[in-house]
Chain A
Amino acid sequence: MPLSSSDRAPLFAEGAAGTLKLAVYLLLASLAMIADYRGHYLARVRELAGTLAGPIYWVASAPVRLVRAGYGAASDRSELRDENQALRERLMLAEARLSRLAAVQDENGRLRELLDARTKLGLKAQLGELIDVDLDPFRHRLLIDLGTEDGLREGQAVMDAHGVLGQVLEVGPERSVLVLITDASHALPVRVVRTGLRTIAYGSGDIGTLKLPHIPFRADVRPGDALVTSGIGGHFPAGLPVGVVREVTPDDVATFALAVATPAAGLARSGEVLVLHDERERISGGGADVGELVGPPEELPVAAPVLPRARGEHARGAQR
């Protein structure tokens, strides 16, 4: 090991100056973290850096793209034809189901009119592609290629074909960070379909598991029960599939039951996702905008007033 030119440096490090510098930088880092955590004072910095980070993300995700391209090139015609066939069948099934759903929706709409429900949830979905980078091995976060330029906002629900995936955590101009429902700091209000019990599903930090603590014993939750979003908190639209209960055990002190659920969404880290834009639309009910004259335009369903507070809690995961 040859000596480098730097050996003019003293053998014993200088004392006070180094420690002082350390203290200053530690303080700076702490202040930056507090500023970032408390308010979004540093949003501009993030935005700027986000645009510069594009090439690095591109390079880091290159191997996965390469493998995928290679796979596409290697799979031969007959395989593709089979896959095409299978997809066609699934599409037909889905369409049949959808047309049935349309009839039900129609009926539902009429019934709601009769009940004088003022608003309904109109859902719009936007397709986004995941960028294949690993942000942090101990957090369940993903990067997608949509940002403020595509109309994304913080807190929007994200799902894939099978169920709820997570929500938008940070929005940049071109890219955004999602937090998955399995992230250890995430909490999601859910409803047990069979019994109607409302509870909260916490992320476990493990990609295949959601935890539902504090379920009363008499609530009758069984393995196999389906979970959907309850819509409480106004963050996620109600009724989206979340997962299936896998196991119910008494908790440590045996006062409540602890259920463990398997998420419905494929939480693998690549592919495409749907970002939901929920727009509360009025049911016009034949005549145009009758409701507009009656009440203030902000008259929204019960869930609405909870919205601003719940957003803050969810986004930073301060629920635990």
Chain B
Amino acid sequence: MKTTRLPTLIYWGSIVVALVLTLMPLPEGLRAAKPFWLALVLIYWALEAPERISLGRAFALGLVGDLLTGSLLGEQALRLVVLTFIVLRLRSRLRFFPMPQQALAVLALLANDRIVMLMVRSFGESAPIELSHAVGPLVGALLWPWIFLLLDSLRLRTRPSEA
């Protein structure tokens, strides 16, 4: 029983941490550099444990993110559904990429997500497109290897006897 519960704990823990990091205040100059934490965590689980991630889950998570950050209800849901769909589609290839290449793929995913975000926002309000929008995905891609290694080691350490 215990063997199945601990990874689940890590799964939910990683999501809660991502939500907290999303809300964490940063100094004014660094705000634009904040990566889309939820997306990074979601990409990891979609790659490594796709039985935990479905489009429905991604949708629900996005709604939680929307409610917490006060954005339009459904915005992050839509972004995460698009992202998850792409990751699950390309999963069998993405998984076996070497790390630098995987980070590049994550960069592409996050950049695409930013475009989706700007598109959604342009319907409702004026969303000026600036260079600073590119910083978040870049930081996300740079952080990706560390997030991957961290979550991987946590997950594998807590999966004792069956392996």
Query: Which positions 21-67 of chain A face chain B at CB distance < 8 Å?
Result: 21-22, 25-26, 28-33, 35-37, 42, 45-46, 49-50, 53, 56-57, 59-61, 63-64
User: Roughly how many angstroms separate A289 CA and B83 CA in the complex, as a whole number?
Assistant: 64
* Complex interface: chain A residues within 8 A of B25 (CB): 60-61, 63-64, 132-134, 269-270
- Of A42, A60, A61, chain B has the most CB atoms within 10 Å of the CB of A60
Query: Which positions 115-174 of chain A face chain B at CB distance < 8 Å?
Result: 132-139, 141, 143, 169-170
Instruction: State whether the Cβ of B10 lies closer than 8 Å to any Cβ in chain A.
Output: no
* Complex interface: chain A residues within 8 A of B21 (CB): 60
Instruction: From known contacts A134-B25, A137-B34, A184-B127, infer whether A46 and B73 are also in contact, taking CB-CB under 8 Å.
Output: yes
B62 to chain A, nearest CB (A): 7
The chain B residue with its CB closest to the CB of A60 is B23
Instruction: State whether the Cβ of B136 lies closer than 8 Å to any Cβ in chain A.
Output: yes
The answer on a CB contact under 8 Å between A29 and B92 is no
Instruction: State whether the Cβ of A75 lies closer than 8 Å to any Cβ in chain B.
Output: no
A190 to chain B, nearest CB (A): 19
The chain B residue with its CB closest to the CB of A57 is B23
* Complex interface: chain B residues within 8 A of A28 (CB): 59, 74, 77
Instruction: State whether the Cβ of A320 lies closer than 8 Å to any Cβ in chain B.
Output: yes
User: Roughly how many angstroms separate A2 CA and B162 CA in the complex, as a whole number?
Assistant: 12
* Complex interface: chain B residues within 8 A of A21 (CB): 55-56
Complex interface bits, B14-26 against A, C-beta within 8 A gives 1, otherwise 0:
0010011111111
The chain A residue with its CB closest to the CB of B95 is A1
Instruction: State whether the Cβ of A71 lies closer than 8 Å to any Cβ in chain B.
Output: no
* Complex interface: chain B residues within 8 A of A317 (CB): 125-126
User: For chain B, which range describes its interface: under 10, 10 to 19, 20 to 34, or 35 or more residues?
Assistant: 35 or more
Our pick among B24, B124, B130, B156 for the contact of A37 (Cβ within 8 Å) is B124
* Complex interface: chain A residues within 8 A of B70 (CB): 135-136, 141, 143, 169-170, 177
The answer on a CB contact under 8 Å between B69 and A136 is yes
* Complex interface: chain B residues within 8 A of A248 (CB): none
Query: Which positions 66-120 of chain B face chain A at CB distance < 8 Å?
Result: 67-75, 77-78, 81-82, 85, 88-89, 91-92, 95, 120
The answer on a CB contact under 8 Å between B88 and A18 is yes
* Complex interface: chain B residues within 8 A of A134 (CB): 23-26, 31, 34
Complex interface bits, A1-15 against B, C-beta within 8 A gives 1, otherwise 0:
110111001011100
Instruction: State whether the Cβ of A207 lies closer than 8 Å to any Cβ in chain B.
Output: yes
Instruction: State whether the Cβ of B49 lies closer than 8 Å to any Cβ in chain A.
Output: yes
- At the interface, is chain B mostly helix, strand, loop or mixed? helix
User: For chain A, which range describes its interface: under 10, 10 to 19, 20 to 34, or 35 or more residues?
Assistant: 35 or more
Our pick among B16, B28, B67, B128 for the contact of A53 (Cβ within 8 Å) is B67
The answer on a CB contact under 8 Å between B48 and A4 is yes
The answer on a CB contact under 8 Å between A25 and B56 is yes
* Complex interface: chain A residues within 8 A of B64 (CB): 49
* Complex interface: chain A residues within 8 A of B133 (CB): 138
Query: Which positions 245-302 of chain A face chain B at CB distance < 8 Å?
Result: 268-270
The answer on a CB contact under 8 Å between B31 and A137 is yes
Instruction: State whether the Cβ of A231 lies closer than 8 Å to any Cβ in chain B.
Output: no
* Complex interface: chain B residues within 8 A of A22 (CB): 55, 81-82, 85
The chain B residue with its CB closest to the CB of A3 is B95
B95 to chain A, nearest CB (A): 8
A9 to chain B, nearest CB (A): 6
Instruction: From known contacts A25-B59, A134-B25, infer whether A2 and B163 are also in contact, taking CB-CB under 8 Å.
Output: yes
Query: Which positions 108-160 of chain B face chain A at CB distance < 8 Å?
Result: 120, 124-128, 130, 132-133, 136, 152, 156
- Of B32, B34, B48, B72, chain A has the most CB atoms within 10 Å of the CB of B72
- Of B49, B71, B120, chain A has the most CB atoms within 10 Å of the CB of B71
The chain A residue with its CB closest to the CB of B163 is A2
Our pick among B20, B67, B85, B128 for the contact of A60 (Cβ within 8 Å) is B20
Given contacts A6-B49, A37-B124, A138-B32, 9 further A-B contacts (CB under 8 A): A13-B92, A22-B82, A29-B75, A49-B67, A60-B24, A60-B25, A135-B70, A169-B70, A184-B127
A and B contact pairs by CB, cutoff 8 A, 11 listed: A4-B49, A18-B85, A18-B89, A22-B81, A29-B62, A42-B73, A135-B69, A138-B132, A170-B70, A177-B70, A269-B28
**In the A-B complex, the 10 residue pairs with the closest CB atoms:** A32-B74, A60-B23, A29-B78, A49-B67, A33-B74, A133-B23, A36-B73, A137-B31, A185-B125, A29-B74
